[in-house]
Amino acid sequence: MSAYDLRAAATLMKKELIEHKAAFIYVPGILIGVAVLTFFAATWSNGGALKEIQVTSEISGKLDLFNVLYAGSIMAWMGYLSLMLFFYFAGSFSADSKNNALLFWKSLPVSDFEIMATKTITGITLLPMIIFGWALVTALAATIALNALASISPLIASLNKGVSIWTMINLEISAMVFVGVTLLWQLPLYVFVGLLGTLLRGWAVPAFVLILFMLSALEGIIFFTPEGYFSTLVENRIGATFDIVGQMGEAMGMRGPENLADMVAAGSFVPDFLARINWTSMVLGWFVALAFVWLASEVRRRQLAD
Amino acid sequence: MHDGANIIEVRGLSKKFGASRVLHGIDFSVPSGRIYGLIGHNGAGKTTAINAILGLTDYEGNVSVLGREPYRNRPELMKDVAFISDVASLPRFLRVSELLDLMVHLHPNFVLARAAELIADTDIRLSSRIRTLSKGMMAQLHLAIVMAINARLLVLDEPTLGLDITFRKRFYRRLVEDYMDDNRSILITTHQVDEIEFLLTDLIFLRKGRIILNADMDRIASRFTQIVVSPDMVAAAEAERPVFRVVQLGQNIMIFDGLDPARAREFGHVTTPSVSDLFVALMETPNSESGVEK
């Protein structure tokens, strides 16, 4: 791959970002802005009450507010990312056809496969990185907000134990590894909805749900089993990495997301998580995703305009 | 690098959509340094032929553009071919400056300075979002983008649709004066035939998927004769089998194919038919595909 090809790929990724900036830049910014405003409004109206709440050792021993907020916000952003990526893949594979623009894109010396591959790579690299940027902004905002609250409320002060910068970085890295691996694990599903997008445009999402449901139901009826091969496969593609984190938590005697920071602080999250991944299945999934990208590009090659 | 004489070679090009055949094995070539007009009614097969040449659709037959088979080699071909198939096809979510930036990095033969110069000649601002531009401005921008590509073949399918007459004339003048050279060729389809007549070197008429005329403009001028026939010569002129005859304001106007000039002058006032007159004449002539191809 030449420097020119790399520049072209970077340009196409930038184009994808510009096209989807509402979902990955504007809306997250607005959400954080609303959260900050809500915080200030709540503090303003409830400041007096907060000052008067008495601290008990029972409460302060059980909770670390920063960890809850930080881990919770990362999980919330991961949920947001998964949802937005699903709709990104469903829409972006056919988005070039909007307003007859497909003819313009086809006038460029870029193949349909390169375009589709770039859309996929953007979806699993650039866009998640942007959401992680927003997760960091959230962490920063949470730190400032908690410290501000701690100065007026003994309760918050007792609950705001804080974590070291290293733990924060470690948590962020662990979350990035988890999300990265989860995206790569789920890639065939994302690209499948993209392929449906090239065929069915706006009907991709309902068609995706319907196809998975119908195939699972047919399999169940034909083989008379509620957990057939196909439904198990899909379930595994959607939830395997979450199950792994659950198993790791249980192994450490932990339950629930509030313990995520402790798990990370224990230092073995990333190697332990990676060791539990079925890499053979992961790589097979990439080949399936590649086949879907190729199929989508062949569909696109045969399309002219709306 | 293609070094052959013809930029486009089309042999036996056919295309079917379902049971309907829209192109019936057409043949033509476009050498370097020529401006071809591909003219036909709606549904005649012009856009299908152009799509095959640009690698946008598969087909039966043989098509070679700059020595390459277009459908399998479109990305490579687009380095040397520029086209507008619809003036309103620019991506609307981009700003003009972002579009230029994208072209710089995606097209090796795009000349930014040239595009900037052409855009500076319009009312388009670089900071404008494309979706906020009027249809005419969008067309101007698209034409500026296309003319800033150092391409050997420029294909224009209804390039000035929706533009006002001033811009249309300026665009076509620029095309000839600034863009065209001996190394390039242009293939144009338009319904505004009279406006491009002055720039065409060759003409192809397409009717119902078949070529009914393929000739250079000099040959057309020497071959086709339009005569305002004197009333007493009508019968004699009709005996020479005109390809077209119409009565306008009491005058008998006939168009002949291959009539001897001396004989033509005996019938009345002789002129060369305009492209639009010739188009109407040949489109309305039954079986005109026989004997008029190049």
Domain parsing of chain B, residue ranges: 6-208, 219-283
Taking an 8 Å cut-off on Cβ atoms, the answer to whether A96 and B91 are in contact is yes
Q: How many residue contacts between A and B have a Cβ separation below 8 Å?
A: 79
Q: Within an 8 Å CB–CB cutoff, is residue B107 touching chain A?
A: yes
Cβ(B156)–Cβ(B189) below 8 Å: yes
Tell me whether residues A110 and B76 touch, CB distance under 8 A: no
CATH architecture under which domain B6-208 falls: 3-Layer(aba) Sandwich (3.40)
The Cα–Cα gap between A47 and A243 comes to: 41
∠ Cα B162 A107 B198 (to 5°): 50
The phi-psi region of residue A255 (left if phi > 0; otherwise alpha if psi is between -120 and 50; otherwise beta) is beta
Q: Are A156 and A146 in contact (CB under 8 A)?
A: yes
Task: Specify the pLDDT at position B291.
Answer: 40
Report the pLDDT value the prediction gives residue B163, as an integer from 0 to 100: 80
Residue type, B169: K
Percentage of residues of chain B with pLDDT beyond 90: 72
Output phi, psi for B224, to 5 deg.
-100, 135
pLDDT tens, residue by residue, B177-199: 888 888 999 999 988 888 889 99
The pLDDT of B230-249, averaged and rounded, is 92
* Partners of residue B88 in chain A, C-beta under 8 Å: 99-100
pTM exceeds 0.80 for this model: yes
Of A260-264, A277-281, B176-180, least confident by mean pLDDT is: A260-264
pLDDT band at A236 (very low <50, low <70, confident <90, very high): very high
Rounded mean pLDDT, A115-133:
96
Question: CA of A236, closest CA in chain B: separation in Å?
Answer: 37
Q: Check: CB of residue B37 under 8 Å from CB of residue B27.
A: no
Tell me, yes or no, if B116 comes closer than 8 A to chain A by beta carbon.
Answer: no
The mean pLDDT value of chain A amounts to 86
Suggest the residue from B22, B48, B53, B56 to mutate for an interface test with chain A (most A CBs closer than 10 A): B56
Cβ <8 Å between A19 and B93: yes
Q: What is the mean pLDDT of residues B126-155?
A: 93
Residue B185 CA, chain-centre distance (Å), reads: 11
User: Which chain A residues touch B101 with a CB distance below 8 Å?
Assistant: 11
Tell me, yes or no, if A279 comes closer than 8 A to chain B by beta carbon.
no
Taking residues A232-255, report their average pLDDT.
83
Nearest CA-CA partner of B155 in B262, B10, B255: B10
> Residue A296 and residue A83: Cα distance in Å, rounded?
21
pLDDT reading at A301 higher than 90? yes
Nearest to A192 by CA among A219, A215, A226: A215
The sheet that has B6-17: what strands, in order across it?
B20-31, B6-17, B60-65
pLDDT band, very low/low/confident/very high, at B292 (cuts 50, 70, 90): very low
How far apart (Å, rounded) are the C-alpha atoms in residues A47 and A70? Answer: 23
CB-hemisphere CA count at 13 Å for B109?
18
The answer on pLDDT for A180 being more than 60 is yes
A304: distance to nearest CA of chain B, Å?
A: 7
Predicted local distance difference test score (pLDDT) of residue B87: 63
Q: Do A101 and B92 make contact, defined as CB atoms within 8 angstroms?
A: yes
Give the separation between CA A78 and CA A174, rounded to whole angstroms: 12
Measure CB to CB from residue B107 to each of A96, A108, A304 and give the nearest one: A108
Give the residue from B68, B63, B118 showing the smallest Cα distance to B96. Answer: B118
For chain A, which residues make up each domain, given as ranges? 54-301
**Which 13-72 residues of chain A touch chain B by CB within 8 A?**
15, 18-19
pLDDT tens digit sequence for B256-284: 999 999 999 999 999 999 999 999 998 87
What confidence tier does A262 reach under pLDDT thresholds 50, 70, 90?
low
How many helices (H) and strands (E) chain A has is answered by 15, 0
Q: Shortest Cα distance from B83 to chain A (angstroms)?
A: 6
Which is more confidently placed, B292 or B237?
B237
Q: Residue B202: beta bridge partners?
A: B36, B216
Set of chain A residues whose Cβ sits within 8 Å of the Cβ of B157: none
B149 three-state secondary structure: strand
* Mean pLDDT of all residues in A275-292: 97
The partner residue sitting opposite A18, judged by closest CB among B94, B106, B142, is: B94
Model confidence at B106: pLDDT above 70: yes
Residue scoring higher pLDDT (A159 or B209): B209
Give the span between the Cα atoms of A287 and A291, in whole angstroms. Answer: 6
Comparing CB atoms, the residue among B74, B89, B98 nearest residue A104 is: B89
Which ipTM did the prediction report?
0.88
The reply to whether A98 touches chain B by the CB within 8 Å rule is: yes
Q: Is the pLDDT of residue B109 over 50?
A: yes
Which three-class secondary structure string do you get for B57-122? CCCEEEEEECCECCCCCHHHHCCCEEEECCCCCCCCCCEHHHHHHHHHHHCCCECHHHHHHHHHCC
Task: Look at strands B81-84 and B6-17 and give their pairing.
Answer: unpaired
Confidence at A53, pLDDT banded by 50, 70, 90: low
Chain A residue numbers touching B77 (CB-CB < 8 A):
109
Tell me the C-alpha distance between A174 and B60, whole Å. Answer: 56
What is the distance between the alpha carbons of residues B181 and B194, in angstroms, rounded to a whole number? Answer: 22
Report, as an integer, the average pLDDT of A147-174.
73
β-strand partners of B68: B65
From the CA of B89, how many Å to the nearest CA of chain A?
4
Q: Each residue of A60-69: pLDDT tens digit? A: 555 567 777 7
What pLDDT does A166 receive? 74
pLDDT-based confidence at residue A160 (cuts at 50, 70, 90)? low
Poorest-confidence range of A1-10, B138-147, B264-273?
A1-10
Cα A196 from Cα A292, distance rounded (Å):
10
Task: Dump strand ranges (E) for A142-254.
Answer: none
